[in-house]
Chains A and B, each alone.
Chain A
Amino acid sequence: MTDKLGIVTTASLEKGVDVRLDAPVSVEDMVVGRYVTIEGQKRRFFGMITDVRLGVTDERLAVSPPDVNDPFIAEVLSGTSTFGQIHVTPMLTIGGDAKSMLEGPQPVKTIPAHFCAVNLATEDDIERVFGKEDPQRFNIGNPLDMETKLCLNLEEFVKRSNGIFGKSGTGKTFLTRILLIGILQKSKAVNLIFDMHNEYGWQGTSEGGPPVKGLKQLFQSKVAVFTLDEENSRRRGVSTDFVVKIGYDEIEPEDIVLLRQTLNLTEPAVEAVYQLRRRFGKSWLQNVLDIEGGEDTKELLDSMSIHESSFQNLKRGLATIRRLPFIQPHAPVDAVKNILDHLDKGINVVLEFGRYRDITAYVLVANMLARRIYSQYQSRTEKAMAESVAPPNPLVITIEEAHKFLNPEVSSQTIFGTIAREMRKYNVSLLVIDQRPSGIDSEVMSQMGTKITCLLDNERDIDSVLAGVSGKNELKSVLARLAPKQQALIFGHAVPMPVAFQPREYGSAKSYKDFTSAGKSSASTGTGKDIEKLWE
């Protein structure tokens, strides 16, 4: 098959380009999301197929259709009176002269002339736009229906907060694991992963297949697994590096605010937390839990004008927290300090939640730890600037169920909302994973640098992911037609143009071998023998 598809028949900067397919090209081979190039007279255009249509030259054909059972008639009409059309959304151009070749791909500001040839994009084209695998660029998969490697510049990627979306079972976790490996190998950033379902650290599950290796199995010396549930981790055969306990005095009112819904707290009950914090200081939680009913209590509450029913409501909520086994009056070791020590050494930290997969535990712990780590980063970055010493390693924090932290009601109050909005002022950015992006504050969504989305079928989710993207309607049709698994659309800061792609396969012995050998620093992942063993 030749790669020439057809010719440009109409075009507008706003609406895109219509291409009439040549007769030998079957419309059924044209799938949305594929890349094409248009050979303009002075420049080449790169674009994506965003619609496929059938055309007729004479409307009467549709009214009184020819006898298509006659193969002769069908053959004559195909590509002439009846023809395929594709709609292409141009995304980039490369000028023909030497200077523009050096400048590389530029945004589209014009359209190709009439009847310019349209070709399937070649491997070289993709490489010219997205770059080759190199010390910063990491292969994340192939563009749809192409063998070419699609590379992502991870140094650019981690400069902003990013999002991974898609409905359940579409491959978000697998994709995230791939990106984390990329960040670990090809950027200066370190990862802190709040691993709600214990899938990143040691071992993850795969639908209908054997378990897949987690980060630590592949990069032993660069990953530490922290756990909230030592017993569970041990039972799963995970070699953990640290057991996290959280003291009462580490919990702040803003952690409770986030839990308002899950703990069924009323508005006044949440208000009361702030008052109690002011009153009792750091040990407020212990104090509240200690308060028994009685005259004294009534007086105390009256003095803070807290209503008895609000207080009871709050107490019931706090009791839920207290029942979490990793919450203790006093934490024996400072988890935050330990995490920071690892991060400073360039070691990625995965925090497993063990059996405590309910959202209360996740929200509470992730928010609390992130808040304190962030404040450390903040002061250290400021100090570094003032004294012109090296700032801490750039940090990427991965959270699942991101809408719990970033919904419009709470996003202004949580640390994650702050990080998302500050665009890496203090060397910290987010990698958020969510099934329901419409639940995330639109302002936070708009701050995300790069978005990668697997299939979404809810209209509101699609709208929220694509909000503010140029060519939104066209991308919408691409997004809505992704395969239900292991296909995604990436767009935003770190890629020169949107591209639908198939993430790399993760889970086979060969995939592990490819992943572990890709990094420039693969030598430090352990002894040669270790690595050999991993591939078995």
Chain B
Amino acid sequence: MSPKIAEVIEADTASFVAQCYELYELPPLGALVKTGDIYGIVCHAETAGMEPGRKPIARGRDEASEAAVYESSPQLLKLLRSEFTASAVGYQDGNKIYQYLPPQPARIHGFIYLCQPDEVKEFSKNFGFLNILINAALTAPTEELIAAALRQMSGVQEDSHAFLVAAGKELANLLSNDFIKLKNILGRLKIK
């Protein structure tokens, strides 16, 4: 299993918020993560000051590079934090993966792992998560998120073209009354 990358600090039925152990070590948008038995797709991320209401201030006027800013103020790594939100898209029960909302929200302080290719492949045998994403209340545009998730998943498939076509067809059925949205997603699925 891969090393843990973050820890749950907020959770509800449809999503969970996690804080990364390392500043900026965020999983990419659309990545599949897991905490406990719950799968999530990273749908939002932010880096901000630790204390709510205290904004960071500009520090680089006299520095030669961005890296130098952090070198001259090592405390920054403690004052800033990276957080992401994952949309809950499924859970594991025994050996089976169900692409439904989990019966219970994630546990606070639950460790979060980035799913490895095998697991992504297993999870993406099914497209039930697409419907969850289409209907999720997200801050990022749905089209962008779905496209990002599918692009990443396609990378681990043996036949990524066939995977994208199958996913596209599923989307076409789900979005049968919203062709514009479908077109936007399909247009964003190309990797090359």
A residues near B, CB below 8 A?
Answer: 23, 56-58, 60-61, 64, 66-67, 72-73, 75-77, 79-81
Contacts and interface: CB of A to CB of B under 8 A. Distances in A.
B24 interface: no
A262 B169 CA distance: 68
A81 B179 contact: yes
A64 B187 CA distance: 14
Given A79-B169, A80-B169, A80-B172, A72 B164 contact: yes
A67 B177 CA distance: 18
B186 A61 contact: no
Interface in B147-192: 161, 164-165, 168-169, 171-173, 176-180, 182-183, 186-187, 189-190
B179 A76 contact: no
B185 to A, nearest CB: 10
Nearest to B172: A80
B177 A72 contact: no
B173 A80 contact: yes
B146 to A, nearest CB: 13
A76 B180 contact: no
B70 to A, nearest CB: 42
Contacts of B173: 80
Q: Is the interface of B mostly helix, strand, loop or mixed?
A: helix
A507 B58 CA distance: 96
A81 B168 CA distance: 10
B182 A81 contact: yes
Contacts of B182: 81
Contacts of B179: 56-58, 60-61, 64, 66, 81
A23 B173 CA distance: 12
A72 B151 CA distance: 14
A58 B165 contact: no
B190 A76 contact: no
Contacts of A79: 169
Contacts of B189: 72
A66 B169 contact: no
A64 B190 CA distance: 20
B166 to A, nearest CB: 9
A76 B161 contact: no
Nearest to B186: A73
Contacts of A23: 169
Nearest to B177: A58
A81 B177 CA distance: 9
Query: Nearest 4 A-B pairs (CB), nearest first?
Result: A76-B168, A80-B172, A57-B176, A58-B179
30 contacts: A23-B169, A57-B177, A57-B179, A58-B179, A60-B179, A61-B179, A64-B179, A64-B180, A64-B183, A66-B179, A66-B183, A66-B186, A72-B161, A72-B164, A72-B168, A72-B190, A73-B168, A73-B183, A73-B187, A75-B165, A75-B168, A76-B168, A76-B171, A76-B172, A76-B186, A79-B169, A80-B169, A81-B172, A81-B179, A81-B182
Given A61-B179, A72-B189, A81-B179, 6 more contacts: A58-B179, A72-B168, A77-B172, A80-B169, A80-B172, A81-B176
Nearest to B162: A75
Nearest to B171: A76
B180 A60 contact: yes
Contacts of B164: 72, 76
A312 to B, nearest CB: 80
Q: Among A23, A66, A76, A79, find the residue whose CB has the most chain B CB atoms closer than 10 A.
A: A76
Contacts of A73: 168, 183, 186-187
Contacts of B178: 58
B151 to A, nearest CB: 13
B87 to A, nearest CB: 23
Contacts of B177: 57-58
B174 to A, nearest CB: 10
A73 B189 CA distance: 10
Contacts of B180: 60, 64
Contacts of A80: 168-169, 172-173, 176
A81 B180 CA distance: 11
Contacts of A81: 172, 176, 179, 182
A76 B174 CA distance: 13
Contacts of B161: 72
A494 to B, nearest CB: 46
B176 A76 contact: no
Interface in B33-91: none
A155 B11 CA distance: 81
A58 B181 CA distance: 11
Q: Among B183, B189, B190, find the residue whose CB has the most chain A CB atoms closer than 10 A.
A: B183
A345 to B, nearest CB: 70
Contacts of A57: 172, 176-177, 179
A431 B22 CA distance: 94
A80 B174 CA distance: 10
A337 B113 CA distance: 105
A67 B183 CA distance: 9
Contacts of A61: 179
A64 B182 CA distance: 12
A72 B177 CA distance: 20
A481 to B, nearest CB: 31
Contacts of B183: 64, 66, 73
A80 to B, nearest CB: 3
A80 B169 CA distance: 6
Nearest to A77: B172
A453 to B, nearest CB: 42
A58 B168 contact: no
A318 B182 CA distance: 82
A198 B172 CA distance: 63
A77 B173 CA distance: 9
A470 B118 CA distance: 60
